Amino acid sequence: MALIVAHQWPAVPVALLAYDGSFHTTHRQEGETMRHHLIYHGEVNLQGVSNLEKAITASVISGASEIVICICSGGGDVMAGIGAYNFIRMQPIPVKTYAFGYCGSIAATVFMAGSERISSTVNSFALHAASYSEGPMKDQISPNTRLISMPFEAIAGWDPAATEKYFGSIETSHLSAAESLSLGISTLIQDIRFEQGDVVTHIAVLSGPPEPQPASPKRLSELLASCALAWSASVVAAPRG
């Protein structure tokens, strides 16, 4: 079960939410702004993205008028990141993205999903082609490069030359906030401040240990036989009174 800590800013933590498919719904007054900040600080991975998607859904159901996903990440899993990108764009309310630190690789693609894309003044974007991380093709360009570059063409209006420049090599291009603005990655440079009444939620992004897999019938029989043999040996070896 994913645990996500929510804070009612600027007070002390007010809730520990365990997402089990049920949500608490609150109602806001007409005209009242209810802004939710979701802090994604760390690797883009399946667990982190799953937690992010649950938090987005909870924010929408709870009556948030606006969601801001605050990203500081060096990248990670392309499959997880593309899922996050598309899920963000599915929402019925504005979901802004805010790069509040290093935003690289697939994390930059996730950033492109925002209805408004804000960069902090102290920030850096890092772009490069996707590559194989292991096997005989390690460090060679992966076809996933097309996936991570498409949003830059569709949203920022890049032409093939720009795509080739920033995604045609595994060598990393580092971009400042100002450069990201000129390239259409960011739509605004601004240092966001939490305001009273904002809800701040920290997303758990660390991958836990793999879940234990049930043993096959054959393996279970082997384990039982081994246990029986060990038990028999202990009985034989036990000293008699």
* Mean pLDDT across the chain: 80
Tell me the whole-structure pTM to 2 decimals.
0.74
Paired sense of beta strands 95-104 and 66-73, if any = parallel
Residue numbers of the domain that contains 197 = 3-237
What is the arithmetic mean of pLDDT over 160-180? 93
Q: What is the pLDDT of residue 22?
A: 34
Which tens digit of pLDDT belongs to each residue from 48-105? 999 999 999 999 999 999 999 999 999 999 999 999 999 999 999 999 999 999 999 9
What is the arithmetic mean of pLDDT over 136-161? 88
What is the arithmetic mean of pLDDT over 18-26? 36
d(CA 117, CA 73): 15
Q: What is the pLDDT of residue 241?
A: 43
Which of 74-78, 99-103, 130-134, 230-234 is predicted with the least confidence, judged by mean pLDDT? 230-234
The residue assigned the tokens 């690797």 is: 43
Q: What is the pLDDT of residue 87?
A: 98
Which pLDDT band holds residue 109 (cuts at 50, 70, 90)?
very high
Q: What is the pLDDT of residue 223?
A: 54
d(CA 14, CA 52): 19
What is the arithmetic mean of pLDDT over 5-26? 38
Percent with pLDDT over 70 in the chain: 71
Residue 19 has pLDDT above 50, yes or no: no
Residue 156 has pLDDT above 50, yes or no: yes
- For residues 58 and 24, the model is more confident at 58
Number of domains the chain is built from = 1
DSSP state of 138: B
Q: Which CATH number is 210's domain given?
A: 3.90.226.10
Which tens digit of pLDDT belongs to each residue from 212-229? 445 556 655 655 565 555
Residue 164 has pLDDT above 70, yes or no: yes
